[in-house]
């Protein structure tokens, strides 16, 4: 296994991979594939990458990760969790529900589940629960028996062009559902709900709105999580207690419940599975409270995700100053959505914005994080600070924090290091001294 990339960062979990017998290399070197029987590459790797070129020269099969995933899981019963947002959380929740029902699934997510010690729950059955990722049309390699669409919005416009292209990509995915399969769609989301008319006999809706088939009612939110009653086809199933905050996570839990019910789980088993769900890394991950500052880390990198995360934080900490840190992800996404980013971030009391994390992309002229900072100011944000270098962000932010603040760090790139480093600074004292209000 090699770790190519612009910054050649170490593979997370490298030591665990090596204990399992994997040889992990760093950097770009054609010699890494000399003895390979196959090369699996993510969609972010260009076709002229030296290891890809060498593999093809030597006749070594080269597969995209999505093709390898489909070849593996399509041999069994597949639950594919699709959507612009919420895939990782919903996949993990669904896996826990099906495990509680005794179905022993294999779950594969795009994040880290702490009690799985990684992104994989290795099951003993032929049931697979996987994220169905729309980027690069990766989910078109899956043949689901059960498909979920959590929501549908414009994203990855570098691939799809516009919202119509995104919708067509999802329709193609749903046409791959096997005969007698089931599609569960969030009826609260306008984009997802538009798919329902094309699903005669297979469509099933869930959410908080009147008219959906699996509905949460009498919803109450508290700092510890969310509580609701759940009704299925007009019949009350019972109460649901969820430790993850926010209505978006309640909808994710309903998606997991819908899959569980379709595959035979009792309501008690659904509740047991959701109680076993203890979160996914960087999905509203609470890093603790240090020196009177609550620290939260989140993967949100789309305007809708940010809006939901900011709202959930406000609901939990209504009387505390909210300091948000955001790193835009991808030049193309920043170009397409900088105004929407600004509006969704404007609810913070203090907003720090860094430059763009490029990931797989090359810079675009005139596209920087300053566009987001300016858009937030235009949207009414009172205190916006553009700090280009995310590496020095922790020291800059820590020095301005006050007792009783909430620090919310958001983004899908190297900003993930900011929360833990601020925590270390606050714990260490002088370098991260907190102002007492």
* Catalytic residue of the set 88, 112, 141, 309: 88
Catalytic, 134? Answer: no
Q: Is 377 part of the annotated catalytic residue set?
A: no
The single residue of 2, 87, 90, 150 carrying the catalytic annotation is: 87
Catalytic annotation present for 64: no
Catalytic residue among 89, 94, 95, 131: 131
Question: What is the distance in angstroms between the CA of the first residue and the CA of the last residue of the chain?
Answer: 50
Q: Please identify every residue annotated as catalytic.
A: 87-88, 131
């Amino acid at each position: 296994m090699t770790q190519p990339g612009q910054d050649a960062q170490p593979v997370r979990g490298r030591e665990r991979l090596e204990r399992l017998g994997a040889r992990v290399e760093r950097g770009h070197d054609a010699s890494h594939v000399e003895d390979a029987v196959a090369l699996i590459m993510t969609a972010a790797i260009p076709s002229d990458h030296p290891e890809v070129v060498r593999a093809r020269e030597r006749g070594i099969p080269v597969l995209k990760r999505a093709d390898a995933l489909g070849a593996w899981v399509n041999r069994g019963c597949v639950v594919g969790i699709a959507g612009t947002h919420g895939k990782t959380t919903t996949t993990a929740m669904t896996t826990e529900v099906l495990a509680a029902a005794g179905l022993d699934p294999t779950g594969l997510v795009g994040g880290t589940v702490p009690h799985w010690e990684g992104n994989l729950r290795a099951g003993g059955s032929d049931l697979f629960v996987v994220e169905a990722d729309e980027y690069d049309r990766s989910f078109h390699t899956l043949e689901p028996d059960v498909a979920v669409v959590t929501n549908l919005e414009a994203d990855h416009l570098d691939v799809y062009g516009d919202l119509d292209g995104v919708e067509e990509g999802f329709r193609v995915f749903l046409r791959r559902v096997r005969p007698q399969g089931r599609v569960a769609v969030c009826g609260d989301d306008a984009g997802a709900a538009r798919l329902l008319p094309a699903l005669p006999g297979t469509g099933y809706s869930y959410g908080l709105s009147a008219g959906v088939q699996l509905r949460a009612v009498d919803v109450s939110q508290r700092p510890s999580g969310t509580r609701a009653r759940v009704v299925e086809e007009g019949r009350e199933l019972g109460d649901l207690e969820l430790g993850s905050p926010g209505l978006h996570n309640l909808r994710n839990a309903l998606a997991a419940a819908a899959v569980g019910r379709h595959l035979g789980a009792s309501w008690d088993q659904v509740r047991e599975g959701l109680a076993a769900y203890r979160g996914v890394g960087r999905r509203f991950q609470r890093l603790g409270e240090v020196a009177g500052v609550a620290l939260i880390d989140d993967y949100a990198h789309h305007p809708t995700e940010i809006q939901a995360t900011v709202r959930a934080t406000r609901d939990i900490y209504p009387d505390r100053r909210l300091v948000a840190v955001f790193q835009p992800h991808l030049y193309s996404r920043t170009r397409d959505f900088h105004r929407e980013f600004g509006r969704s971030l404007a609810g913070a009391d203090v907003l720090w914005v860094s430059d763009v994390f490029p990931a797989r992309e090359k810079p675009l002229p005139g596209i920087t994080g300053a566009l987001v900072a300016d858009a937030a100011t235009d949207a009414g944000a009172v205190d916006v600070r553009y700090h280009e270098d995310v590496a020095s962000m922790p020291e800059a932010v820590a020095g301005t924090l006050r007792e009783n603040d909430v620090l919310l760090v958001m983004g899908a790139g190297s900003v993930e290091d900011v929360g833990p480093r601020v925590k270390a600074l606050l714990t260490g004292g002088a370098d991260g001294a907190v102002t007492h209000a």
